Structure 1
Amino acid sequence: MGNVYYRFEAVPVLAPLIALLCVFLAVRAVRGNAGPQWGWRFVPIRLVAAVYVAGVIAVTHFPFVISYGKYADHMPWTSQVSWVLLINMDPSAIPNIIMTVPMGILLPLVTKKITSWWRALAFGAVVSLAIEVSQVLGCVLFHNYRGADVNDVIVNALGCLLGYWTVRLAVKISFLGNPLRHLALPGSVLATGPGSVKRTALARSRW
């Protein structure tokens, strides 16, 4: 393949995607034929969720490098994966926890599935595992110098759980809980109205 080196920065790649999403949401809200769930009321939470996802991708995968030949990282990918649980954890665990706190906060606002702390913990672990696997695949396929750490899965899951507990506490305070319920997507755990998951006995018992 020869000597290849491409470097992609986060903003030029992700900013146009966010802009396209803004246009899409605005068009659906203006047309009004997609149902009330696509109205202006729910544009903010969708944008916040999208910007958060883009931010996580930016932090974990950018700058995205494709390199071959003399520019490639020739270290075996197995040497760039930390398999040791907890022992090798360093101060980077703190920003990794912080990174997924917003995820735990957003989940009850956008989905009906996360109705208990253990589901929030499991969701955070699955998402983190997917990130680590994709980083390893990037290292193997594109030689982009990114490694993976099994401890990141643990701390990211804890961050998601912390965010979930934070929103659970917040909804008990009227001046925080009412705006959150107003912004929550229809059918989500915190949604108000007939489709609210919180109205079910199961959700009340777990949430």
Structure 2
Amino acid sequence: MQLVQRFLAGYTDNFRAALALWPLASVALTLPILAYLYHRDGRLKFASVVSTYLAVLYLMGLGCFTLYPLPEGPSGPGVSYGIPWQLNPFAFVSDFAREGVSTLPQIVFNVVLFMPLGFIAGRLLRLGAARSAALGLAASFVIEAAQGTGLFGIYPYAYRTADVDDLIYNTAGAVLGWWCALQLGRVLPPGALAAEGEVTHRPGFVRRCVALWLDTVLMGTVLLVLAAVASVAAWSIPAGERLFQGGWLVVLAAAVFVVVEGVVPWMRGGSTPGGRFVRMSCETRERTGAHRLAFYLARLVVLGGSFLFFPLAWTVLMLFYLVARQMPYDFV
């Protein structure tokens, strides 16, 4: 027992670092997490939200336990010298013969550390055994590579041992965690997933925001690519600089916005690219002809104004929705 206590005492700072990073990571990942849950379940479930944020805590812990503490000071591993890789599979056999049971806590820790990853893969991500094992192996490989390359070149030398045996332990832990998820599923089946093609026409404010965030990421990416192409063209073709003078970037951004928030949902039953991912349609009721056109024009004006007058407009829209339970354009 004292052996285990001494072993765990060496990871106290790692656990504290994971707890400190958890709120920051949770805030940064909130929109991707919500998008994933809406896509998978078709709605937000309390248990799914809690388990997902606990998964974020685990991932923070996994990173801190395997990569922290980082090298510091003028000398030491990773700074003035490196730690050699251990590429001999099953080297733990000779280690055990030489050092006895003192080697067991490290082995058990490497197995147990990856059990939650396998559990998450099986329970939260709904992956099978092979894919869960592959996920565990891939995660372990990335960690070992980071340790053995000085965090991918950030430090001049390896500051921790990249051990091939850890790949074996970690993958075994992921498989064992997946098996635990399988056994739990027989007693407490996981919630039903969203049906194929399931779409809601009464989305809440949070789902609308997540869809708009996804659309914004898409629009920003498309605009960046188009702007890069235009910049190259401006330097490559005769009189190109004159062609791309003035407010062409604003016009291009407006065109991308109209396509993503107007043309695409018009053609796909009210679902923008982001809306389709989170299983929602912006058309809260059936509209046809000029009535439908007026709805989309009003929606473009409201959303366009929300970008132009961010963040004030978003606050106003949120308050409006809390009172009316609809967006302004839904009244058209």
Report the TM-score range of the alignment, normalised by the length of the smaller protein: 0.5 to 0.7
Greater strand share, 1 or 2? 1
Aligned length: 166
Residue 314 of structure 2: aligned partner: none
Please list, as runs of the form range in 1=range in 2, the aligned pairs for 1:97-176 lying within 5 A after superposition: 97-112=111-126, 114-115=127-128, 117-138=129-150, 141-142=154-155, 143=157, 145-173=159-187
Stretches of structure 1 that go unaligned for 5 or more consecutive residues are: 1-8, 183-190, 196-207
Q: Tell me, yes or no, if structure 1 residue 88 matches structure 2 residue 92.
A: yes
| Higher RCO (CA < 8 A, seq sep 6+) | 1
> Which residue matches 2:23?
19
TM-score normalised by the chain length of structure 2: 0.43
1:135-161 residue CA offsets vs partner (Å, 9 max, x unmatched): 112276424631110000011001100
RMSD: 3.3
Q: In structure 2, how many angstroms separate the alpha carbons of the residues matched to 1:38 and 1:18? A: 21
- 1:27–1:16 CA distance, 2 compared to 1 (3 A): farther
One-letter amino acid of the counterpart of residue 98, structure 1: V
Closer, same or farther: CA 128–41 of 1 in aligned 2, 3 Å: same
**Distance change in 2, residues 1:141/1:102 (3 Å):** same
Contact 1:133 1:148 (C-alpha < 8 Å) held by counterparts: yes
Match for residue 67 of structure 2 among 41, 61, 66: 61
Q: CA offset at residue 14 of structure 1?
A: 4.3
> 1:25 touches 1:38 (CA, 8 Å); kept in 2?
no
The CA distance in 2 between the partners of 1:172 and 1:194, in whole Å, is 22
- 1:116-152 per-position Cα deviation (integer Å, ceiling 9, x unaligned): x222222211110111001112276424631110000
Q: Which moved more, 1:132-141 or 1:52-61?
A: 132-141
Does structure 2 retain, via aligned residues, the 8 Å contact 1:65–1:144?
no
Taking structure 1 as the reference length, what is the TM-score of the superposition? 0.65
2:50 to 33, 44, 55: 44
SS in structure 1 at match of 2:91: coil
Aligned with 2:71: secondary structure?
strand
Cα distance between partner residues in 2 of 1:95 and 1:28: 30
Identity of aligned residues (%): 21
